[in-house]
Amino acid sequence: MFNSTVQGTVPEQVQGRVFTLLDVTWNAMRLLSLGIGGLLVDAVGIQALFWVGGLLLALAGLLGLALLGKHDFRRAGR
């Protein structure tokens, strides 16, 4: 879904650059999150980190549901 959205939105001439930027950003943030997670585990412990991670995931889900309710899917396809 994400790739299809990017392909439909980004001009064909720059799609390779955009997908490369997205891939580099994704992998860099993944590595950064592992480093930060390791530091946080040392500082607060694994149980607290899991609780905070679960809370952030739940908040992200609630935000997604709230924004989803405002989207008009009938107009999006036109």
Per-residue pLDDT of the chain (78 residues; tens, 9 = 90+): 888 888 889 999 999 999 999 999 999 999 999 999 999 999 999 999 999 999 999 999 999 999 887 877 777 655
Residue-level pLDDT at 39: 95
Nearest to 37 by CA among 24, 28, 25, 45: 45
Residue-level pLDDT at 77: 56
